[in-house]
């Protein structure tokens, strides 16, 4: 099979996981989607590469040394291994904790949030458009491959999300929230909702559920969204 | 005054804050260090630019429209304003909460951690070498200008840090920690210690204080360090 692989574009039907750890996660959780694994000539005899090559043989996935492809995928960083995979559909489930991001802008933040979700046993993430592409290699990378354990769905509006997922306990994280996250009860099934990097959640989202704030000083505008989501998941996890 | 400004290098005696919010923070907290403020021609009549220009006049700081400089500073992003500032020395204080990063590798994570610290009323950060440059524009940017409210000191080893800052309650964040962060008492004055992105804290750091872990699933290797630091600061803040 030949792939005209290069710098990623969201129109592609495939994407890349770069770095040994994310590639192992890809092979473990989505082996049916893997098209190809490539190594850097610098790493081809490393322990990680040997282990990965054996795994590819076992799962009948093509693997090869391909420095040129690695440079095309990631021109700025030294990447020693990458996995090319077909994009897939893995929609969120009705039960269990859900994280909702309204108009996320940054692929790195999205990936970091997914990594944290998986760390706190939440697998389902809803993205309200306009939203960054979850298969952006920067997201895959920042998730450390956690993406391959996650389910995700896109919605055109928060109301569309609620229509498909009614009867949830919705907690809206806003600096102007009514209750401290420390006092929130986080009744299940929980939906934790966070706004965009540039503007947070609109005030009128308060009608959709309980608004909560993370106690913080006035010396910053707000916390980074991936830090806020980490604290939200951590607190909600106490009530699990 | 003329500056041969361009892509940042850590040998420079100056650095840049990019984006309106970080530039305002720079002018507010370190006005004596500002060399120059530049705007994009696209933003020169915006409300933010007007406000910033008035502030520059007031503080007798040169300001101008300079698209070329903005592109040189940040070739990939659309930046509408930047402040060039002289690097300064602002060492950590003996009292109060301190955050210690052992060998931090990523400027963006460092900046995000500083933003979070300021949000949780902690101003002092110790960096154990080898460590990323705190004045890297990517750190300034990720801190959202929070850097300008922070004090920082570099040390060659953790022991050097302890020598200068004895009698502190040291909490070491490790996935193999002995006590859950939920049960930790965080006695003051507190030092919260986090390891590097690639390898966390070495096991033998346990001799330096109390090791704590953030409860998390086995489905990830660890949390991102800026998320872990956010949760640590949030928990320690409860005991303030």
What would the pLDDT profile of B210-228 be if each residue is shown by its tens digit?
999 999 999 999 999 999 9
Measure in Å the smallest separation between the Cα of B157 and chain A Cα atoms. Answer: 28
First to last CA, chain B: 46
For tokens 């081809």, the residue is A44
Cα distances from B164 to residues A164, B16, B161, B172, B218, in angstroms, run 58, 31, 5, 18, 37
Q: Which of residues 94-133 of A touch B (CB under 8 A)?
A: 108, 112, 115-116, 118-121
Residue B73's pLDDT is: 84
Cα gap B167→B188, rounded to integer Å: 10
For tokens 């055109």, the residue is A156
3-state SS class at B152: strand
Are the C-beta atoms of B14 and B86 separated by less than 8 Å? Answer: yes
Cα gap B165→B213, rounded to integer Å: 23
What would the pLDDT profile of B165-175 be if each residue is shown by its tens digit?
999 999 999 99
Measure in Å the smallest separation between the Cα of B2 and chain A Cα atoms. Answer: 31
Please indicate if any CB of chain A lies within 8 Å of the CB of B143.
no
Task: Give the mean pLDDT of B12-23.
Answer: 95
Domain A98-238: CATH superfamily is SPOUT methyltransferase, trefoil knot domain (3.40.1280.10)
State the virtual CA torsion across A44, A46, A47, A50 in degrees, nearest 10.
10
Q: What is the number of alpha carbons within 13 Å of residue B154 lying toward its C-beta?
A: 11
Residue B44's pLDDT is: 85
Task: Give the mean pLDDT of B144-157.
Answer: 98
Chain B's closest residue to A223, CA to CA, is B116
Q: Which residues pair with A63 in a beta bridge?
A: A37
Please indicate if any CB of chain B lies within 8 Å of the CB of A217.
yes
Measure in Å the smallest separation between the Cα of A2 and chain B Cα atoms. Answer: 31
Burial class (CB in 10 A: 0-12, 13-18, 19+), A174: buried
Task: Give which of A227, A235, A236 to mutate to test B binding, by max B Cβ within 10 Å.
Answer: A227
Which of A69-78, A109-118, B60-69 is predicted least confidently?
A69-78
pLDDT band at B7 (very low <50, low <70, confident <90, very high): confident
Q: Do B224 and A224 touch (CB under 8 A)?
A: no
Are the C-beta atoms of B111 and B141 separated by less than 8 Å? Answer: yes
Task: Give the mean pLDDT of B191-198.
Answer: 97
In the 8-state DSSP scheme, what is residue A148? G
The CA-based angle B116-B122-B128, given to 5 degrees, is 85
Among candidates B174, B158, B148, B165, which has minimal Cα distance to B208? B158
Please indicate if any CB of chain B lies within 8 Å of the CB of A142.
yes
The whole model's pTM is what?
0.96
Are the C-beta atoms of A213 and A180 separated by less than 8 Å? Answer: yes
Measure in Å the smallest separation between the Cα of A108 and chain B Cα atoms. Answer: 10
Task: Give the mean pLDDT of A5-34.
Answer: 92
Indicate the domain borders of chain B.
14-86, 98-238
Task: Give which of A197, A219, A231, A236 to mutate to test B binding, by max B Cβ within 10 Å.
Answer: A219
3-state SS class at B144: coil
Residue A7's pLDDT is: 76
What would the pLDDT profile of A147-174 be if each residue is shown by its tens digit?
999 999 999 999 999 999 999 999 999 9
Q: Do B223 and A115 touch (CB under 8 A)?
A: yes
Cα gap B7→B75, rounded to integer Å: 9
Cα distances from B220 to residues A19, A115, A189, B177, in angstroms, run 15, 7, 23, 16
Using a pLDDT cut of 90, give the percent of chain A over it: 88
Q: Is A14-86 assigned to CATH 1.10.760.10?
A: no
Task: Tell me whether 0.90 is exceeded by the ipTM.
Answer: yes
Are the C-beta atoms of B203 and B234 separated by less than 8 Å? Answer: no
- pLDDT at residue A24 is higher than 70: yes
Residue B238's pLDDT is: 85
- pLDDT at residue B129 is higher than 60: yes
- pLDDT at residue B240 is higher than 80: no
Q: Do B223 and A116 touch (CB under 8 A)?
A: yes
Q: Do B223 and A230 touch (CB under 8 A)?
A: yes
């Amino acid at each position: 099979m030949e792939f005209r692989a290069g710098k990623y574009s969201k129109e592609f039907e495939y994407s890349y996981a770069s770095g040994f750890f994310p590639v192992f996660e890809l092979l473990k959780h989505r082996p049916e989607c893997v098209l190809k694994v490539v190594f850097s000539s610098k790493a081809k005899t490393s322990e990680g590469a040997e282990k990965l090559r054996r795994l590819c043989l076992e799962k009948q996935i093509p693997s090869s040394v391909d420095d040129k492809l690695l440079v095309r995928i990631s021109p700025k960083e030294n990447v020693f291994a990458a996995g090319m995979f077909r994009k897939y559909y893995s929609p969120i489930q009705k039960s269990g904790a859900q994280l909702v991001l309204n108009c996320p802008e940054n692929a790195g933040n999205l990936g970091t949030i997914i990594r944290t979700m998986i760390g706190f046993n939440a697998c389902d993430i809803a993205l309200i458009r306009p939203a960054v592409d979850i298969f952006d290699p920067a997201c895959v990378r920042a998730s450390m491959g956690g993406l391959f354990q996650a389910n995700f769905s896109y919605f055109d509006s928060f109301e569309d999300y609620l229509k498909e997922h009614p009867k949830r306990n919705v907690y809206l994280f806003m600096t102007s929230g009514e209750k401290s996250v420390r006092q929130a009860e986080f009744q299940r099934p929980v939906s934790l909702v966070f706004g965009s990097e540039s503007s947070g959640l609109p005030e009128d989202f308060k009608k959709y559920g309980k608004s909560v704030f993370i106690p913080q000083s006035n010396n910053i505008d707000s916390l980074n969204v991936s830090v806020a989501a980490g604290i939200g998941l951590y607190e909600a996890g106490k009530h699990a």
